[in-house]
Structure 1
């Protein structure tokens, strides 16, 4: 395979970021509060990490647990957070909002994306909770900057979602399927060969890089194991 796989790693702070880069991560997803599955970090956290590493950073825009934007007040807070992070130098983001029916919250998405001014962004695992994955992709196809979907193929994780992931990876030339499929959510090393064979080029890990759990440090050695596994599939 000629396309080098991208490895994105969740980082909560500077120590995580430094360890992830040392282990071979290509990009970091910056979040806080993993008890809520990852919320927007502070500007101070972003600037500290930006000063400590030189790899790409994608910053989460999510202010509460779940996948709702939080109504007009929530959208205003999201827009403000995006604006402050942009002022601080953030130039890549992660977001995704659903409405009460499980469709994309287009009003919220359009408002927040407008604040990003063309910056690249990932639609996160809200897609795994969507009522209709295919319809969501097609509804979001024209949003500027959308270049990846972070997905496990299922709300339950990659074990359950693998058939969906393999099917979607083959649809990359269809309308709505141009963004990169980035697999994450219960991802294990033994999933990698089938995903790489299907053409998946981006992988996202969080807990897999933390042998002692979220209360413990990020392990550069664990990241290196993932990097080597992905590099081996690049060469196969």
Structure 2
């Protein structure tokens, strides 16, 4: 059987627990999922560390949504967040930064890597908006990152299969490619078969209705941006397990 690894994008401690129950190898703990994931709170990291015993805890370091060109003050925040995550017992970190021209920001990445003190680092989907993915792959390897989270520079990993396959061949075992974005029980086997990638990142979330019985639909906490506020997405052990089993059974 192929050796696969499964990472769940966990938007809460509740999702971390579900990922662990479903058999995930690790979680990427983050807040602000609609923004693509930002640094989780101090409390989230502390409690996630307390409850995870069979699943590795990786923490995203991203001070805001949007692009990956960071100001000096944002860079200071990221360095402090790395220090906190290390002190609180995270098993790994997830970050990435670019220059204004869309290249890997080598000088700042070197600072972040030094601050990580040898912890495994995943270069996240900043990779998917970089100017030259083939060149970036080589630079990220040189920086000492453990893996790259990528959808093959497309909206989903399934759409990015051609580039994912090319990058997997270019990497040649020097770094791990972690295929993510839109990966689920319906497409994970196809992505694996066509790319040769062995690590997968997915959320396996379902919407859970709020227990509140009183609703005021006239008020939105997002102001003019209206989101559903009486339900929230959470990872379920059932979907994690199902996604893993699809690929494991296919390999068998």
Quick check: TM above 0.5?
Answer: yes
Residue 231 of structure 1 aligns with which residue?
A: 248
CA contact (8 A) 2:6 2:244 kept: yes
State TM-score, norm by structure 1.
0.90
Give the whole-Å Cα distance in 2 for the aligned partners of 1:57 and 1:203. 15
Q: Deviations over 1:145-189 (max 9, x none)?
A: x1111111024222431111122222332xxx6211111112233
Greater helix share, 1 or 2? 1
Give the whole-Å Cα distance in 2 for the aligned partners of 1:218 and 1:102. 33
Give the whole-Å Cα distance in 2 for the aligned partners of 1:93 and 1:67. 19
Q: Deviations over 1:96-152 (max 9, x none)?
A: 1111111011122111111001110111111110110011112222213x1111111
Return 148-157 or 122-131, whichever deviates more: 148-157
Give the whole-Å Cα distance in 1 for the aligned partners of 2:13 and 2:127. 29
Residue 199 of structure 1 aligns with which residue?
A: 196
Residue 180 of structure 1 aligns with which residue?
A: 176
RMSD: 1.7
CA contact (8 A) 1:67 1:96 kept: no
Q: 1:114 to 1:67 in 2, by over 3 A?
A: farther
Residue 206 of structure 2 aligns with which residue?
A: 211
Unmatched 5+ stretches in structure 2:
209-230
Unmatched 5+ stretches in structure 1:
none
Residue 108 of structure 1 aligns to a residue whose secondary structure is helix
CA contact (8 A) 1:8 1:203 kept: yes
Residue 118 of structure 1 aligns with which residue?
A: 118
Residue 189 of structure 1 aligns to a residue whose secondary structure is coil
State TM-score, norm by structure 2.
0.85
Give the whole-Å Cα distance in 2 for the aligned partners of 1:67 and 1:88. 27
For residue 19 of structure 1, report the CA deviation from its aligned partner. Answer: 1.1
Q: 1:231 to 1:159 in 2, by over 3 A?
A: closer
Q: How many residues align?
A: 228
Residue 204 of structure 1 aligns to a residue whose secondary structure is strand
1:104 aligns with 2:104: yes
CA contact (8 A) 2:29 2:58 kept: yes
For residue 69 of structure 1, report the CA deviation from its aligned partner. Answer: 4.4
CA contact (8 A) 1:196 1:233 kept: no
Give the whole-Å Cα distance in 1 for the aligned partners of 2:161 and 2:93. 25
Give the whole-Å Cα distance in 2 for the aligned partners of 1:191 and 1:218. 18
Runs of 4+ in 1 over 4 A off after TM superposition: none
1:169 aligns with 2:164: no
